[in-house]
Structure 1
Amino acid sequence: MSEQIKFKGVFYRKQAGGEDKGWALFLSRDDSTGKSYAVFTTKFFPKLRVPYEIVLQKNKRDSFNLISFVEVLPDLYGNLERFLSSSIPSIGKVTAQKIVEKYGEDFLEKISDDPNMEIPELSEKQREELNSFLPQHDKQDIDFFTSNDLFYFYETLKSKIKPSKGSYIKEYKFKNPYSLFFENNMNIFDVDKFAILLGNVNEKSFNRFEAFIYFSIKELEIDNNTVYRITDIFTELSKHLEIDYNTFTDLFIEAINKKVIKKITYKNHDYFSLYSTFIKEEFIYGFLLEINSGSDEKVSNYKSSKLDEFQEKAFINAVTKNVSIISGGPGTGKTFLIKELVDYFVSKGAKYGDQIKILTPTGRVSSNITKKSGYAASTIHSYLSISKDDEEIPAFIAENMIEKWNALETLIIDEFSMVNINIFYKLLTNCQYIKKIIIIGDAHQLPAIGPGNLLNDLIETNKFATYFLHNNHRSESTEIFNHYSALNKDETPPFKKDVIDIIDEDDLSNDFISTYKKEVKEKGLENVIVLSPVYSGKYGLIELNKKLQEVLNNSSETIITKKERGIIVNYKINDRVIQTVNRNNEGIYNGDFGYIKSFGKKENDKGEFVNQISVEFNNIDNSKKVISYTENEFKQEIVLAYAVSIHKFQGSEVDTLFYIVNKAHQTMNRKKLVYTGISRAKKHLFIVGSVNYYLQLIHNFKFEISDVKTHIKIETQKNKGI
């Protein structure tokens, strides 16, 4: 490790970058020697010309990395009286002179060391203004965090919490520091280091165990399971925490007793779940059963000659039952059925948007339904005014939205396979006066990212009326419909030239590239997509996007460069990109496609001119919407989108689709993933890879066993005596 240097000084110039870019290069100066240093930082950004105690470390370039910067009192060189009278508006020369005479030239040091020091010469207003000039930190805290390489943790801590005792060390010495992980979403490993250094935990500390067991099971929940064998939990925990099995079992029993963990016994086997996840599953299942127990309604005075026999049964089921499930693949008329249902409820006096609402898991699905049905659908996240599943709804928003949520009586949720337990629980707990829920989706598609397999689990309970749609209503894609339907039945799927083609090559060049270019030229880039199940490797999305960018947009100007999983990726004007997080206030959502349109300087709220990147998106009415990003926002929220993941494109459809199938993705190539991917194609499907491997893969699907285990599934199996 390079030697660190420490000095008192200032940052006097920003040479390059800035907070909007996520990095900056500053010039700093040592007050005692006058020596200047070029300082690189990526996390926190100091103010110019403010006195700091600065710690730097030499990097491999001709500059230094910023390790810490702590605001200190300025050197006044015996001019305290002048400083007080000129820097603090409410303190005049007479008051300043009295203070210096009574308390001395080290007055600022005294009041910094003792913030509660009584100063009768100052009014309340003068004291407030003086305090604003003093460094806002505890000296013991500063020494502790900087000496233990926790400076950035300290800065994050300051941005989230103000200690009631004036010091974070004093605050958490006798308080559970792991509350910072649970309540403030702070990095568990930084929190753990902080707790250990405070000396109030050891390897048998329950508070520490509780935090890491929660973190470990949350990591496991990403793959949909909500219940686990104890050995699986111990294996995952051991990746993050050094603990022997005997200590683990002792603390695990304590976690069960304290309702951190829920024990579930089935067929003489013990399974375990996070108690909080168990409560969510219990609530969801109980809520739906309670609604469903109400009296059935009757269909009256509504006819439609446009519904096929399966749609008509599903329609009657949805109208008469309080909880109903409709499952069907792409092209089976789910969106048309949604429109018919809303038309019916509106004709009976329900007001759309108040008493009845269509919600979806993604913005792209919402846009699709809105265009086709004429009814404005919303994402579940935007309806709840949140951007992430685990985000708490602010109290002031909840107060303003409660009337809207309480008015909702009939809820239609589309693409329900993409809805996980966390977001559905949050929706139901905030909309407690719902009388009817119509769940629509495709049970053969991939489950949501996160805990639960709700669509399949609810169907398998046999507690809720369920109808399946079977007929294809896309006249242009009968062959594609038959292809993925055969795959679902574990049959050899049919091919047809110029509709379902195989590009039988493993190097993703030659035929693939020339065919891709031809399709884009004939149909337009917005009507062509490439899907791959992985990000890294030769056939992964990062390399695919680089290759396809070179084919379509090689000559455009590079405006941003960033590393993605260790690979340098350039972003250029006119590149096709995709939004990866929700921007509810701007109507842009995770999964929305756009095009980079411009790059240039723009004045921000602070009056600074910073780089801005403009990305153009399509509105529902096909008008254009331009969103501006700082460099830092762009790097965090935008990725290239000539090729995208199956999860990212789930719920969407496209005229021409290239599906990458390769042995290198063997562990990913499961039935639901392949089905979800290929069924996005409307007019032309290209399977890119070995035809023999593809057919062998489909043959092996019949031997797959669904291995997603949840509390609802176990309860269903118990009830059925399975």
Structure 2
Amino acid sequence: MNRSGIVKKVKWLDEKNDFTVIEMLDAHSNGLFTAVGKMGPQYLGHKLNMVGKEVANPRGTGKNFEVHHYEVHQPDTLEGIYLLLCSGLFEGISSRIARYLVDTYQYDTLSLLKRDINILLSVPGVGVQTFLKIRDSYQDADLRQQAMTRLRNDYKFTFSESLAILKSAPEDAMDILTKSPYSLYRRLSNKLNFVLFDRAIIGHGWSEKDPVRIREVLNHKLRSVSGEGHTLNSYAEILNGALEYLNIDRYLVEHELQFMIEKRWLYITDANQRHLIQSQWFYAAEKEIANRIRILMEMPAEKQLLFNSNDMRLRKLKASQLNAIKAPYSHKVSIITGGPGTGKTTLLKTLLALMEEQNLTVISVARTGKAAQRMREVTGRDAVTIHRALGPTEQPDEFVFNDINPLKVDVVVVDEMSMLETLIFRTLLRSMPSTARLIMIGDVNQIPSVQPGAVFRDLIASKTIPVYWLTENLRIKKENGQLPTPIRVANGILRGHLLDVPNDDEWSFFPTKKDAETKEKLVELVSELSLMGVTQEEMQVFTPTNKGPLGVERLNSIIKGCIHPHGKSHIELGDKIMQTVNDYTLDISNGDVGKVTSVFDNWEKAKRDSPVLVAKMGSRLIEYTKKDIYNLTLAYAISGHKSQGSEYSHAIIVIPDHYFSLMDRFWLYTLITRCKKKAYLFGNENVIKKIVKSRRSHERKTLLKEQMWRFLSITNEVHK
């Protein structure tokens, strides 16, 4: 079905996936209709020729036009020309100037402006300064629009991808794309899909056998395994993966692979008789981590710690806690680990108090804002994200504090250590003075970091650092001597078993056959808890994937519909939200969760820098501008990794029939241990049993353990 219309109003735009909701003026009937689809930002007045179909409006009566394909054209109506000139695309053109131009030059307005911008001087009240501003803006916008059109129509990039390309090299992006496309990709590898980018480049005449392309494919294969958490892979898998993708002669690929090794862009090792290949970045990072820990352990501390065994606070500690609290008194670098209920929080609070009383400068850090916030809450002392502690700069990988300008601290305490990936841990170690102590605390059985590496697991497995295990559980019930049901279930999962325990006031298992049944039962539970007075802050739904019928996106929409049945599709008053990027201006971190407390009137018409809503994030009220809200997402349902560092009264875990590769026993263990009061598990029992047998996330390929052995002696100092 074909349909044409003029952009009248952009009602909603998700800049991350280009999804747009637009109020359109029908080009033929002049009636209004709503177009939805991946169209990216559109300027008022532009004419869109669209191909799609009519679909039911999910949040009301009537129908929307779902756009599958579209083309952008200059407006061909006076109303469209006026709207375009007023859209903000051209800085300096006010509604008064736009109206004068359209009334005077009618349908020739845009062509005349392009041919002779000096006609602006004929507009009453337009002086030299205004003219120059409009002229420069109009010419820049025209060039930008041409480049954007080519990127989207010829190369088939999305709006966000096209915008990233243009921003990366404002003056010569198209020239670089033509002459050195893969260098452009390397700048933007986190924003572009390699396969789609590569196809677009090949489609524009680049040789399939070009050495630069072959090397980039090899790099892509290494990046692919890092996406699974590995810092390296076998030589054979990288080579065969590249051969399968390229479909060219083997000797060409082998030649470039050897060339990259000779140039030390890649490193090859035979650790444990495994023929492994690693990028220069991860090779250097794991080697540097081991060396910097060696230096920390060998250099004497600047300030000595005196342990007072008669301190009254120590009498409240269990034997393993008391043993662990002595760690920083005996060692410059130490690890404390234990499961839920073993007293990590109590120990941390006591330890910080003891060290501060001896006039030590202590900094407490965690990987995420959520984990840092909880650290502050339970200890009553300041705690920050690692990025905040290091002092972010305009360059994403550069910090104020580094090996040249280290932190002014005596002790660094890292909580939720399992969340730290290779590169951020290397950066943290760089910022530490060699005289400082390092205390790492966490649960080694939790899922490892989102990014590549298994730092906490590898450090413990290397046996080169003293490890203190908290083995006594403080949550044993006095009435029956048993652990809470969720902890018993979680411990069973670690051993590869799904315990058959009855549902009680701490645990409920809802076995289902299909995703549709899971969704139905989930809706019933969320509605029931809400009626019981359980707030959204007290409950949290977890799922392994963003996509699919039980993914984050779909579940957020479903749960929002339960709580706000007459609500809108976008973020609104009362919604539970999550920050998706670090924003140091607002002092909020990726993963911070809050609630929308107020929404400004007519926010849809606001300018990008105008405030549109207020959200309570933790104990603070944050005012968001229109451009900032695109960094927010609904948080009724979140992924497993987003759960770390948090606890909820009601933890609700959803297991889809598919996406098995995203889940294992450690993923499920982590989510069950997020509950403070009760855990709920939904899913097919056979699927869950398979998950419980899987150890996938703890089988990451890394070389940190081997690097630790190169630089340090095995101590076998383990305290339980």
- Whether these two folds match at TM > 0.5 is yes
Matching residue's letter, 1:339: K
Q: Check if 1:42 corresponds to 2:39.
A: yes
| 1:603 Cα deviation from its structure 2 partner | 6.5
Matching residue's letter, 2:291: G
Q: 1:232 and 1:137 mapped to 2: Cα distance? A: 44
| 1:59 Cα deviation from its structure 2 partner | 3.0
> Which position in structure 2 is the counterpart of 1:473?
474
Matches within 5 A, 1:334-413: 334-351=344-361, 356-385=362-391, 392-393=395-396, 398=399, 405-413=406-414
Q: SS at the partner of 2:518?
A: coil
Q: SS at the partner of 2:474?
A: coil
> Which position in structure 2 is the counterpart of 1:678?
672
Q: Deviations over 1:13-47 (max 9, x none)?
A: 744447788647599999xxxx9999989335558
| 1:687 Cα deviation from its structure 2 partner | 3.7
> Which position in structure 1 is the counterpart of 2:544?
533
> Which position in structure 1 is the counterpart of 2:185?
181
Native 8 Å contact 1:359 1:414 kept in 2 = yes
Matching residue's letter, 1:179: S
Q: 2:605 and 2:433 mapped to 1: Cα distance? A: 40
Deviates more, 1:65-74 or 1:148-157: 65-74
Q: Check if 1:559 corresponds to 2:568.
A: yes
Native 8 Å contact 2:370 2:592 kept in 1 = yes
Q: 1:687 and 1:36 mapped to 2: Cα distance? A: 49
Matches within 5 A, 1:433-444: 435-444=436-445
Matches within 5 A, 1:624-635: 625-628=621-624, 630=626, 634=629
Q: SS at the partner of 2:464?
A: coil
Q: Deviations over 1:515-542 (max 9, x none)?
A: 5555441544432333333445555445
Q: 2:144 and 2:697 mapped to 1: Cα distance? A: 58
| 1:145 Cα deviation from its structure 2 partner | 6.0
Q: Deviations over 1:54-75 (max 9, x none)?
A: 9965433799934487999962
After superposition, the Cα gap between the structure-2 partners of 1:203 and 1:81, relative to the gap in structure 1 and judged at 3 Å, is: closer
After superposition, the Cα gap between the structure-2 partners of 1:202 and 1:460, relative to the gap in structure 1 and judged at 3 Å, is: same
Correspondence for 2:328 among 318, 321, 328: 318
Q: 1:130 and 1:533 mapped to 2: Cα distance? A: 51
Q: Deviations over 1:302-337 (max 9, x none)?
A: 632222211122111123211111111122121222
Q: Check if 1:655 corresponds to 2:645.
A: no
Q: 1:285 and 1:76 mapped to 2: Cα distance? A: 63
| 1:512 Cα deviation from its structure 2 partner | 6.2
Q: 1:154 and 1:554 mapped to 2: Cα distance? A: 36
| 1:678 Cα deviation from its structure 2 partner | 1.4
| 1:269 Cα deviation from its structure 2 partner | 3.2
Deviates more, 1:427-436 or 1:142-151: 142-151
| 1:418 Cα deviation from its structure 2 partner | 0.8
Q: 1:144 and 1:696 mapped to 2: Cα distance? A: 48
After superposition, the Cα gap between the structure-2 partners of 1:169 and 1:222, relative to the gap in structure 1 and judged at 3 Å, is: closer
Matching residue's letter, 1:342: L
| 1:178 Cα deviation from its structure 2 partner | 2.3
Q: Check if 1:582 corresponds to 2:582.
A: yes
Native 8 Å contact 1:483 1:493 kept in 2 = yes
> Which position in structure 1 is the counterpart of 2:280?
275
Q: 1:610 and 1:697 mapped to 2: Cα distance? A: 47
Q: 1:78 and 1:692 mapped to 2: Cα distance? A: 69
| 1:547 Cα deviation from its structure 2 partner | 4.8
> Which position in structure 2 is the counterpart of 1:456?
457
Matching residue's letter, 1:300: F
| 1:368 Cα deviation from its structure 2 partner | 1.1
Name structure 1 gaps, 5 residues minimum.
6-10, 49-53, 92-124, 562-570
Q: 1:77 and 1:446 mapped to 2: Cα distance? A: 58
Native 8 Å contact 1:314 1:326 kept in 2 = yes
> Which position in structure 2 is the counterpart of 1:60?
52
| 1:343 Cα deviation from its structure 2 partner | 1.7
Q: 1:273 and 1:482 mapped to 2: Cα distance? A: 40
Q: 1:492 and 1:12 mapped to 2: Cα distance? A: 58
Native 8 Å contact 1:415 1:441 kept in 2 = yes
Q: 2:347 and 2:208 mapped to 1: Cα distance? A: 58
Native 8 Å contact 2:575 2:595 kept in 1 = yes
Matches within 5 A, 1:6-25: 14-17=8-11, 23=20
After superposition, the Cα gap between the structure-2 partners of 1:55 and 1:253, relative to the gap in structure 1 and judged at 3 Å, is: farther
Correspondence for 1:160 among 168, 181, 189: 168
After superposition, the Cα gap between the structure-2 partners of 1:332 and 1:198, relative to the gap in structure 1 and judged at 3 Å, is: same
| 1:508 Cα deviation from its structure 2 partner | 3.1
Q: SS at the partner of 1:349?
A: coil
> Which position in structure 2 is the counterpart of 1:713?
705
Native 8 Å contact 2:402 2:431 kept in 1 = no
Q: 2:260 and 2:196 mapped to 1: Cα distance? A: 23
Native 8 Å contact 1:413 1:440 kept in 2 = yes
Name structure 2 gaps, 5 residues minimum.
54-64, 75-88, 91-108, 715-720
Q: SS at the partner of 2:649?
A: strand
After superposition, the Cα gap between the structure-2 partners of 1:141 and 1:508, relative to the gap in structure 1 and judged at 3 Å, is: closer
> Which position in structure 2 is the counterpart of 1:446?
447
> Which position in structure 1 is the counterpart of 2:315?
305
> Which position in structure 1 is the counterpart of 2:112?
75
After superposition, the Cα gap between the structure-2 partners of 1:243 and 1:73, relative to the gap in structure 1 and judged at 3 Å, is: farther
Q: SS at the partner of 2:540?
A: strand
> Which position in structure 1 is the counterpart of 2:632?
637
Matching residue's letter, 1:209: I
Matches within 5 A, 1:126-205: 134=139, 137=143, 148-149=154-155, 156-163=164-171, 176-185=180-189, 187=192, 188=194, 192=198, 201-205=206-210
Deviates more, 1:376-385 or 1:132-141: 132-141
| 1:655 Cα deviation from its structure 2 partner | 2.4
Q: SS at the partner of 1:59?
A: strand
Q: 2:153 and 2:658 mapped to 1: Cα distance? A: 46
Give the aligned length: 639
Q: Deviations over 1:484-505 (max 9, x none)?
A: 3344345674746333343344
Q: 2:708 and 2:348 mapped to 1: Cα distance? A: 29
The TM-score, its normalising length taken from structure 2, stands at 0.74
After superposition, the Cα gap between the structure-2 partners of 1:159 and 1:38, relative to the gap in structure 1 and judged at 3 Å, is: farther
Native 8 Å contact 1:594 1:615 kept in 2 = yes
Q: SS at the partner of 1:656?
A: strand
After superposition, the Cα gap between the structure-2 partners of 1:695 and 1:127, relative to the gap in structure 1 and judged at 3 Å, is: closer
Identity %, equivalent residues: 19
> Which position in structure 2 is the counterpart of 1:209?
214
Q: SS at the partner of 1:412?
A: strand
Native 8 Å contact 1:328 1:442 kept in 2 = yes
Q: Deviations over 1:206-226 (max 9, x none)?
A: 322333332332222122211
Q: 2:557 and 2:229 mapped to 1: Cα distance? A: 31
After superposition, the Cα gap between the structure-2 partners of 1:241 and 1:588, relative to the gap in structure 1 and judged at 3 Å, is: farther
The TM-score, its normalising length taken from structure 1, stands at 0.73
Native 8 Å contact 1:325 1:464 kept in 2 = yes
| 1:470 Cα deviation from its structure 2 partner | 1.4
> Which position in structure 2 is the counterpart of 1:8?
none
Native 8 Å contact 1:614 1:629 kept in 2 = no
> Which position in structure 2 is the counterpart of 1:102?
none
Deviates more, 1:528-537 or 1:246-255: 528-537
Q: 2:658 and 2:151 mapped to 1: Cα distance? A: 45
Q: 2:622 and 2:149 mapped to 1: Cα distance? A: 47
After superposition, the Cα gap between the structure-2 partners of 1:258 and 1:671, relative to the gap in structure 1 and judged at 3 Å, is: same
> Which position in structure 2 is the counterpart of 1:414?
415
